[in-house]
Structure 1
Amino acid sequence: MQIEDIQTIGRPRLNTEIRVGGTALLLGDRHTLVARDLPQSVLERALRRMDGATTLDRIVAEEPALRREVADDLVASLDGLGLLDDTALPPFRSGSEVILELEELVEARCETTIYRNPFWQTCLAANAPGDLPQRLATGMVIENWHFLFRESYFDAPVLSYVPNTAVRLLLNEFFSEEYGHDEILLRSLTHVSLTYADMQDAIPLPETMALCNALAYWAHNDPLFFFSTLGLLEGQGMKEDSFIEACTRVGMDDGFVGPLRTHANINIDAGHGNLTRLIFQQIPAIAETDVRRLKAQMPLFVDLYDAFYSGVWRHYTGDAPLLRRVSDL
């Protein structure tokens, strides 16, 4: 039997009963094993030593008649039948170590995407009235409202996170502080004559929904990766919001800027930007296979977030109606 691309089990544990049945070994009630390449007694001893404590290397070393390739084929076959468990710990690293590596990846990706995005370049350069158009600023708040209004799509699935109680408590505390933030932004929109009814009639930009849907998918199917996105989403390390500061510098009304600042200060004062680190500090071990998956997915997340800002820039600097209304379809 030729087995390819199967990782050898380090400490195999046979999870079924072994019985001798004449010229064959009976494994449980369903499987029969016939020794062809080695004496049956050697095969039986090897199987009985698969106790989860003895390494496969040691079993092979102490059974000269059991060649390594035969042992590997045997283990692969038994594993394929679901008759083996591997009690050896997989390679792993601490959550605290992993999150620092992920943050480096995020920062490197942001350098070539979000930090160069025309929306943020405009905000950073804005110093006088007109440098940041009111329509663009309003559009940013509109899309942020859509995002926060749908936050339950991606926060709710992880509130019952079973594997780690400390992480679950952090998430529930975070959600209780986040709940209702869309209503704060609505006060800014009301100042520019947009009502709740208007927003209910409005369709988010495709880029906004893409980000929401991706986060919802990860929250449902890969919560560990979802946790790694929260630092960037919540402004890790941010002492002030560049968008709000730009609105202030160009002289926008306090009725518009004030609620935005209130929202930002809630996040800053509650340390939401540090949530990802707090979560990963509570995770003692992350398998190397999971680390590779997290790293592989991170560029996609940053690109989706960059696309969100690009969508805001394109739509709200254009001539299309401010709101994409359901009632206009």
Structure 2
Amino acid sequence: MLPTKDYKQPLFKEQVFFQFKETSVEITYGTQECSLSFEPENQPQTIQLLKLLQTGNVSLQQLGQACPEIEEQIPELLIEFERLGMIQETQDQILTQPMTGLQFYRELRRFLQHWQNHIVHPLAFKKMTEGTITREQLVGYALESYHVTHLCPRLLAASLTKQETPHTYQLLQEFFVSELHHDRLIESSLASVGIEESQLEQMQPLPMTFAICSALAVFAQQHPLSFKVALWLFEQDDPKFLELFKQCCQDLDLPREFYQPILLHANINDEGEHEQITKNLLAEVAYISAEEQLRVKKNIAILQESIMLRDRQIIDYYGNPHNIIPRCFS
């Protein structure tokens, strides 16, 4: 049996660690681990195999030649290492070099700009530009924004439990405090269109609103680097979108008390330089491996797509006159 990927020169990923015992070796990678047992006489070749996989640039044939006594076991071992996400192709590692946090920040700016240049404007932006957005859809935008601001402190909390530099901890702590009670601004906005606090307590978010909140919470708990980058997406405000939002609210006779708190919330983020939080946090990171760069880019691309899907769900759900507004289910 062969690995599902046709490895030419398999290589252990960074942060794969070994702990040798008398007749076995414990191999760990993040939360993944496996135990490899061997006969005492095979210990030298097992160690040789693992060292070659750490070095890379060695073909499967060369691995077999270097470790003839365990050659038949090598394909099965590679299958297990692949299942646990421990190996990659040597060439994949060479193509991307490790970076400092600030270097990666600059790379992320190019990455996100390239990504955004190849997608259409959010549907809400398009409908506001055309003047076809409805009053209910604008209210829906505020309702779904309420969920994010209301849950934000709980989503951020796990990030404060991680082992970080003192300055990183200070940055996260200050950011956490600055986000407290922002939901009260959105509450006052919604109160101006007749949505009461008791209704907010019963309200359910749209699936994609729940999904992006969950993603942020998972990153805060399980992958701090993705969390630090994700904050950038949540703290960016598009001045054109906000200006259009205000104009459409006025055109549809929504009261000033509705749109002003939403604009004020955006101004708080801007004046507090919240969009700089990712740059400041990454400046504290001395080393980001090629694999971690790829993992972050994948996570952020998925999160960006989720935000786009959420935009469409807001338009679809709140644009249907038969749907419950707000989404309150007993």
Hey, what does 2:328 align to over in structure 1? 325
Hey, what does 2:290 align to over in structure 1? 288
* Structure 1 pair 151–285 and aligned structure 2 pair: CA distance change class (3 A): same
Hey, what does 1:101 align to over in structure 2? 107
Q: Deviations over 1:251-283 (max 9, x none)?
A: 642211221122111111000111111111111
Q: Does 1:145 align with 2:146?
A: yes
Q: Deviations over 1:29-58 (max 9, x none)?
A: x9875489xxxxxx8xx99xx9xxxx989x
* Counterpart residue type for residue 263 of structure 1: H
Aligned counterparts of 1:203 and 1:109: Cα–Cα separation in 2: 31
Aligned counterparts of 1:297 and 1:252: Cα–Cα separation in 2: 37
Aligned counterparts of 1:221 and 1:17: Cα–Cα separation in 2: 29
Gapped runs of 5+ residues in structure 2? 23-36, 57-62, 79-93
Hey, what does 1:116 align to over in structure 2? 121
Verify the 8 A CA contact 1:159 1:171 in the aligned structure 2.
Answer: yes
User: What aligned pairs does 1:19-34 form with structure 2 within 5 A after superposition?
Assistant: 33-34=40-41
User: What aligned pairs does 1:188-267 form with structure 2 within 5 A after superposition?
Assistant: 188-235=189-236, 241-242=242-243, 244-247=245-248, 250=251, 252-267=254-269
Aligned counterparts of 1:225 and 1:282: Cα–Cα separation in 2: 14
Aligned counterparts of 1:135 and 1:9: Cα–Cα separation in 2: 50
Hey, what does 2:31 align to over in structure 1? none
Hey, what does 1:62 align to over in structure 2? none
Verify the 8 A CA contact 1:119 1:310 in the aligned structure 2.
Answer: yes
* Counterpart residue type for residue 226 of structure 2: F
Structure 1 length as normaliser, TM-score? 0.70
* Structure 1 pair 9–239 and aligned structure 2 pair: CA distance change class (3 A): closer
Identity %: 19
Aligned counterparts of 2:13 and 2:180: Cα–Cα separation in 1: 47
* Structure 1 pair 254–98 and aligned structure 2 pair: CA distance change class (3 A): same
Aligned counterparts of 1:106 and 1:122: Cα–Cα separation in 2: 24
Aligned counterparts of 1:147 and 1:165: Cα–Cα separation in 2: 28
**SS of equivalent residue, structure 2 residue 11:** coil
CA-CA distance at 1:242 after TM superposition: 4.2
* Structure 1 pair 71–163 and aligned structure 2 pair: CA distance change class (3 A): farther
Q: In proportion to residue count, which structure has more helix?
A: 2
Q: Deviations over 1:187-225 (max 9, x none)?
A: 000111111101112111112111111222222211211
Aligned counterparts of 2:134 and 2:42: Cα–Cα separation in 1: 80
* Counterpart residue type for residue 231 of structure 1: W
Aligned counterparts of 1:109 and 1:266: Cα–Cα separation in 2: 27
Hey, what does 2:309 align to over in structure 1? 307
Greater shift, 225-234 or 138-147, is seen at 225-234
Aligned counterparts of 2:122 and 2:316: Cα–Cα separation in 1: 11
Greater shift, 131-140 or 103-112, is seen at 103-112
Hey, what does 1:297 align to over in structure 2? 299
**SS of equivalent residue, structure 1 residue 193:** coil
CA-CA distance at 1:155 after TM superposition: 0.8
CA-CA distance at 1:96 after TM superposition: 1.1
Q: Does 1:164 align with 2:165?
A: yes
Structure 2 length as normaliser, TM-score? 0.70
Aligned counterparts of 1:325 and 1:269: Cα–Cα separation in 2: 34
Gapped runs of 5+ residues in structure 1? 19-29, 37-42, 58-66, 81-89
